[in-house]
């Protein structure tokens, strides 16, 4: 099932918990799987650190996550799904990336 989501998804949010290092490591494996399934073609993606409301329990630093995102050529954002902080912002960002890609790849028929 996940393979179908990866293969046919038009935009991907790679979400991990900032207070769970294992989830951060798992995202790296998922990213590798995305590249493998899509034959190294990257769909629009964002790396998202969740649970910003648990900042005092943070184990994945902002700089470490940002560095990973930059190495992948994607944007990094942090949110709190519990209190809704910046959740709409990431939906808008990934939607814009998908629309921009579709617009850039659209070639109208010749008259």
Q: Where are the alpha helices (DSSP H) in 21-86?
A: 21-37, 62-72
Q: Report the pLDDT value the prediction gives residue 1, as an integer from 0 to 100.
A: 63
pLDDT at residue number 10: 82
Question: Which positions ≥6 away from 40 have C-beta within 8 Å?
Answer: none
pTM for the predicted model, two decimal places: 0.86
Q: Around 55, how many Cα atoms within 13 Å sit in the side-chain half-sphere?
A: 7
Q: What is the pLDDT of residues 35-67, one digit of tens each?
A: 998 887 888 999 999 999 999 999 999 999 999
CB-CB neighbours of 22 under 10 Å: 10
Angle between helix 21-37 and 62-72 (nearest 10): 10
Residues with Cβ within 8 Å of 95's Cβ and at least 6 positions away in sequence, in order, are 11
């Amino acid at each position: 099932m996940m393979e179908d989501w990866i293969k046919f998804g038009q935009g991907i949010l790679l979400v991990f918990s900032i207070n769970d290092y294992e989830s951060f490591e798992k995202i790296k494996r998922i990213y590798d799987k995305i590249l493998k399934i899509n034959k190294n073609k990257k769909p629009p993606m964002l790396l998202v650190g969740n649970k910003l409301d648990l900042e005092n329990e943070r184990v994945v630093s902002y700089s470490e996550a940002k560095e990973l995102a930059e190495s992948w050529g994607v944007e990094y954002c942090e949110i709190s799904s519990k209190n809704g902080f910046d959740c709409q912002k990431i939906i808008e960002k990934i939607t814009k990336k998908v629309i921009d890609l579709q617009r850039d790849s659209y070639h109208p028929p010749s008259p």
